Amino acid sequence: MITFSNATQANGETIDDWADRVLTLATKAFRNLPDKYMNEQVLLRFCHGLNDKEAGENVAHMRPKSIEEAIDKFKWAVDSHGLMFGRSRSISKTLLKNVSKSNLLEMKIPKKSKSTNWK
For the CA atoms of 72, 78, 80, 84, the dihedral, rounded to the nearest 10 degrees, stands at 170
Q: What pLDDT is recorded for position 78?
A: 83
For the chain, the structural domain boundaries read 12-98
What is the pTM for the complete model shown? 0.69
User: Could you tell me which of 68, 65, 43, 66 has the C-alpha nearest to residue 56?
Assistant: 43
Q: What pLDDT is recorded for position 77?
A: 85
Neighbour-count burial of 39, counting CB atoms closer than 10 A to its CB (0-12 exposed, 13-18 middle, 19+ buried): middle
Q: What pLDDT is recorded for position 91?
A: 42
Q: Measured between alpha carbons, how far is residue 50 from residues 5, 68, 73, 110 in Å?
A: 13, 15, 13, 33
Q: What pLDDT is recorded for position 87?
A: 59
Q: What pLDDT is recorded for position 109?
A: 41
SS (H, E, C) the chain: CCCHHHCCCCCCCCHHHHHHHHHHHHHHHCCCCCHHHHHHHHHHHHHHCCCCHHHHHHHHHCCCCCHHHHHHHHHHHHHHHHHHHCCCCHHHHHHHCCCCCHHHHHCCCCCCCCCCCCC
Q: What pLDDT is recorded for position 103?
A: 43
- How would you write the pLDDT of the chain (119 residues) with one tens digit per residue? 568 999 999 999 999 999 999 999 999 999 999 999 999 999 999 999 999 998 999 999 999 999 999 999 999 888 876 767 765 554 444 444 444 443 444 444 444 445 445 54
Q: What pLDDT is recorded for position 92?
A: 45
